[in-house]
Amino acid sequence: EVQLVESGGDLVQPGGSLRLSCAASGFTLSRHWMHWVRQDPGKGLVWVSHINFDGSTTRYADSVQGRFTISRDNAENTLFLEMNRLRVEDTGVYYCARVRYGGYDFDYWGQGTLVTVSS
Amino acid sequence: DIQLTQSPSFLSASVGDRVTITCRASQGISSSLAWYQQKPGKAPQVLIYAASILQSGVPSRFTGSGSGTEFTLTIYSLQPEDFATYYCQQLNSYPRTFGQGTRLDIK
């Protein structure tokens, strides 16, 4: 069974840092592109970042470029999101999501981890 | 960036109704569109990908159509478990944008 389990969400002050993890099981992580998606409280979905199979290519939303870093450890079946210089507007539930072969959609999502940026 | 606009944003319907949600892209995206369903407190789940392919295990009352800039998700004969929020997403280019969502409530 494919599972994605996020962790690392917390309450942090503006300007602080967090590292989110996404533990993958039930499939071979190295065979899939992966993404992070944020959901603002009570609002819609916002794409955050993407990483290719081996981490050689990454993409970011303009709002997080230069502050967030996506990475992966395929040997440990884990995806990461390093979040620095956090802002109040980064608050939300962060989901990791797997890309289906062929890139058609995000076919599996984790349950999400809550990041709250507040003083 | 490609903008996706869903209409309507809110929809009230009854069990057994047929409903249609539209997703319009600000530029052509071929068939690179997916539809997701999200229930409160849960992660989104894919319903349709590549504009019209039904995800395995999703009931056949869900259908997707369209290409280019206009897409639709139709739910035939609404069931109680279908009341949720629906999102479209384009996978043609980065950033991988989502529509703002359509909340489907019971009338």
pLDDT for A101: 87
User: A57 CB contacts (<8 Å, ≥6 apart)?
Assistant: A51
A98 in reach of chain B (CB within 8 A): no
Percent of chain B with pLDDT over 70: 100
pLDDT confidence band for A41 (50 / 70 / 90): confident
Whole-number average pLDDT of chain B: 97
> How many angstroms away from the CA of B106 is the closest CA of chain A?
19
pLDDT for A111: 97
pLDDT confidence band for B85 (50 / 70 / 90): very high
Phi, psi of A75, deg, nearest 5: -65, -30
Tokens 């009854």 label which residue? Answer: B14
pLDDT for B22: 98
Of the partner residues B46, B87, B94, the one whose CB lies closest to the CB of residue A45: B87
Residue B51 has pLDDT above 90, yes or no: yes
pLDDT for A100: 93
* B46 contacts in chain A (CB < 8 Å): 105-107
Query: pLDDT by residue (tens digit) across B10-37?
Result: 999 999 999 999 999 999 999 999 999 9
Rounded distance, CA B101 to CA A16, Å?
31
Nearest to B19 by CA among B10, B31, B32, B28: B10
> How many angstroms away from the CA of B5 is the closest CA of chain A?
12
Nearest to A99 by CA among A38, A45, A51: A51
Rounded distance, CA B105 to CA B107, Å?
6
Contact criterion met (CB below 8 Å) for A109 and A95 = yes
Cβ atoms within 10 Å of A2's Cβ, excluding its own: 11
pLDDT for B20: 98
Rounded distance, CA A11 to CA A1, Å?
31
Of the partner residues A35, A104, A111, the one whose CB lies closest to the CB of residue B43: A111
